[in-house]
C-alpha cells in the first residue's frame, strides 16, 4: 500500500497552536459508517449510551526537554525518549557536532550527564542525580514540533490529561485532553463507565512514515500495560451489549496489542504493533481521536478502523470547515 494514498492537504493556519480556554469546548467531527456530522465535543454525552465503556490512557507527560552545554561551551538540547533507570535515559540529542561516548554535558544546578553510547538515532545518558525529581524541577514541557512556540506555564497543565497518573510519556495522548473532571462525572451519571490502561507515548509518534510502501515501515516500541481489571471491564461491557470506546489511538494500540493472539488478556511490555488497513480489530468498537498528520501511522490506524476513503473524506471536510488540527485541535468520534 502506497504511503502517498494517506496524504491530504492541510493549510498551516489550521494547526492549533494554543489550547481552547475550556477543555470540552472543541468541535467534534462524527464519522459514522461513512456519514459525516459536525457536532461539539460536549455533545458526546448524548452520542454514547448507558453501558458503554470508555478506555483511557493514564500515562503522564514528563517535562522531558532539557537545555545544557558541553564543557567546551557548545549548547546541547536533549529530549528524553525513555527513562531507563533512576539516573539513566535514552534521549534525542541536538548539538553542533555528533556527541561521542564520554562527553559530559552540564545542566541547571550543576547537574552533569555523560554520554555512555548510542543506539541508532538515540543516545544513552547517565546522570549524577536522580532523574525524575530533576526533570520536575528543571525540565520543560515537550510540545510537538508543529507547535511553533516555546512551552509556557499554561502548557504545564493543558498538555496533560486530567486523569494522568503514570510517569513516562514524552507526548500527550491528545484525545484525552478534551475531558475535564466535570464532564467525566456527567458521563458517569449517564451510566457510561471509564477504565484506564497505560501506554507511554514516545517522540516517534510525530514521525511520518518514510517508506514508500507502508508495509515496510517499522513502528517504534512503546511500553504498555493492560491490566486484568481492564480486561474484565471490557468482557463485562461486551457481555451486556455495551460498546468499548478507545479514547485515542494509543489506547486502541494497547488494547489490540493485548488481543493480538485472538483473545484479550493482560499485557505488559513493549508494543511495536503497526495498525494499517487490513488489520482486524478485536476489542475496539468505536474511537475518540484527534485529527492526525498526513501520512502518519496514527492516520493509518484510524483508516484501518473506518476505511481509508471515508477517513480522508472526513479530513477534507474538516479542512473545508476550518477544524483545528493535531494535539490542541478538535476531536473525532469514529465508528467502524
Give the pLDDT score at 203: 81
Inside any domain, residue 86:
yes
CATH code, domain with 72: 2.40.10.240
Q: How far is CA 83 from CA 68, 253, 265, 284, 303, in A?
A: 18, 21, 27, 30, 32
> Looking at the domain assignment, is residue 272 inside a domain?
yes
- The last residue of one of the domains, among 138, 168, 186, is 138
- 57 and 74 inside one domain: no
Question: Cβ(259)–Cβ(227) under 8 Å?
Answer: no
pLDDT at residue 142, as a whole number = 95
310 and 166 co-located in one domain: yes
Domain match, 239 and 308 both: yes
| Same domain as 37, residue 22 | yes
Q: 202 and 261: one domain?
A: yes
Q: What is the pLDDT of residue 8?
A: 97
pLDDT, position 98: 86
Residue 124 phi, psi (nearest 5): -100, 125
Spatial distance between the Cα atoms of 35 and 42, rounded to a whole number of angstroms: 20
Residue 147 lies in a domain: no
Q: Looking at residue 327, which CATH number applies to its domain?
A: 3.40.1780.10
Residue 310, all three cell numbers: 471515508
Using alpha carbons, list the distances in angstroms from residue 49 to 180, 244, 289, 312, 336: 19, 11, 18, 27, 17
Residue 68 parent element (H or E): strand 65-70
Give the gyration radius of the chain's Cα atoms. Answer: 20
Is residue 262, in this structure, part of any structural domain at all? yes
Identify the CA nearest to 87 among candidates 112, 65, 108. 112
The confidence score (pLDDT) of residue 195 equals: 98
Which residues lie across from 59 on neighbouring strands? 166
Judge if 84 and 231 occupy the same domain. no
Distance CA 28, CA 310 (A): 16
Say how many domains are in the chain: 2
User: What is the predicted pLDDT for the residue at 73?
Assistant: 86
For 228-253, the pLDDT digits (tens) are 999 999 999 999 999 999 999 999 99
Residues 111 and 227 occupy one common structural domain: no
Any idea what the Cα angle at residue 156 is, between residues 255 and 138, rounded to 5°?
110
Question: Are 72 and 170 within one domain?
Answer: no
In this prediction the pTM is 0.95
Q: What proportion of the chain, given as a percentage, has pLDDT over 90? A: 92
Residues 131 and 171 in one domain: no
Three-state secondary structure call for residue 88: strand
DSSP code per residue over 177-218: GG--HHHHHHHHHTT-EEEEEEE---GGGGPPP-SSBGGG--
Q: Is 159 within 8 Å of 61 (Cβ atoms)? A: yes
- How many residues are recorded in the chain? 336
Per-residue pLDDT, 206 = 76
267-271 and 75-85 beta bridge pairing? unpaired
Q: What are the Cα distances from residue 78, in Å, to 121, 199, 262?
A: 12, 22, 40
pLDDT score, position 78: 95
List the chain residues with pLDDT less than 50.
none
Please give the residue range of the domain that contains residue 35: 3-61+154-335
CA 326, CA 85: separation in Å to the nearest integer? Answer: 31
Q: In terms of DSSP bridges, do strands 112-119 and 104-106 run parallel, antiparallel, or are they unpaired?
A: antiparallel
227 and 133 assigned to the same domain: no
Amino acid at each position: 500500500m502506497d504511503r502517498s494514498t494517506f496524504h491530504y492537504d492541510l493549510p498551516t493556519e489550521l494547526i492549533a497552536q494554543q489550547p481552547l480556554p475550556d477543555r470540552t469546548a472543541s468541535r467534534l467531527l462524527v464519522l459514522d459508517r461513512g456519514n459525516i456530522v459536525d457536532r461539539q465535543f460536549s455533545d458526546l454525552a448524548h452520542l454514547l449510551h448507558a453501558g458503554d465503556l470508555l478506555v483511557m490512557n493514564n500515562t503522564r507527560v514528563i517535562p522531558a526537554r532539557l537545555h545544557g552545554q558541553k564543557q567546551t561551551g557548545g549548547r546541547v538540547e536533549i529530549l528524553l525518549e525513555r527513562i531507563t533507570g533512576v539516573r539513566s535515559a535514552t534521549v534525542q540529542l541536538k548539538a553542533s557536532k555528533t556527541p561521542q561516548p564520554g562527553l559530559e554535558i552540564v545542566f541547571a544546578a550543576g547537574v552533569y550527564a555523560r554520554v555512555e553510547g548510542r543506539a541508532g538515532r538515540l543516545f544513552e545518558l547517565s546522570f549524577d542525580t536522580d532523574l525524575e525529581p530533576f526533570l520536575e524541577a528543571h525540565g520543560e514541557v515537550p510540545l510537538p514540533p508543529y507547535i511553533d512556540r516555546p512551552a509556557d506555564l499554561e502548557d504545564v497543565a493543558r498538555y496533560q490529561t486530567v486523569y494522568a497518573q503514570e510517569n513516562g510519556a514524552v507526548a500527550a495522548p491528545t484525545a484525552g485532553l478534551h475531558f475535564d473532571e466535570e464532564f467525566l462525572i456527567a458521563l458517569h451519571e449517564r451510566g457510561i463507565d471509564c477504565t484506564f490502561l497505560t501506554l507511554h507515548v514516545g517522540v516517534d509518534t510525530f514521525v511520518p512514515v518514510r517508506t514508500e510502501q507502508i508495509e515496510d515501515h517499522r513502528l517504534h516500541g512503546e511500553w504498555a500495560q493492560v491490566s486484568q481489571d481492564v480486561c474484565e471491564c471490557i468482557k463485562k461491557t461486551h457481555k451486556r451489549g455495551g460498546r468499548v470506546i478507545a479514547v485515542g489511538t494509543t489506547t486502541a494500540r494497547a488494547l489490540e496489542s493485548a488481543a493480538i493472539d485472538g483473545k484479550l488478556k493482560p499485557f505488559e511490555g513493549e508494543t511495536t504493533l503497526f495498525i494499517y488497513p487490513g488489520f482486524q480489530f478485536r476489542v475496539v468498537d468505536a474511537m475518540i481521536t484527534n485529527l492526525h498528520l498526513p501520512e502518519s501511522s496514527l492516520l493509518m490506524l484510524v483508516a484501518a478502523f473506518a476505511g481509508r476513503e471515508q477517513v480522508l473524506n472526513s479530513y477534507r471536510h474538516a479542512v473545508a470547515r476550518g477544524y483545528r488540527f493535531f494535539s490542541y485541535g478538535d476531536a473525532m468520534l469514529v465508528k467502524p
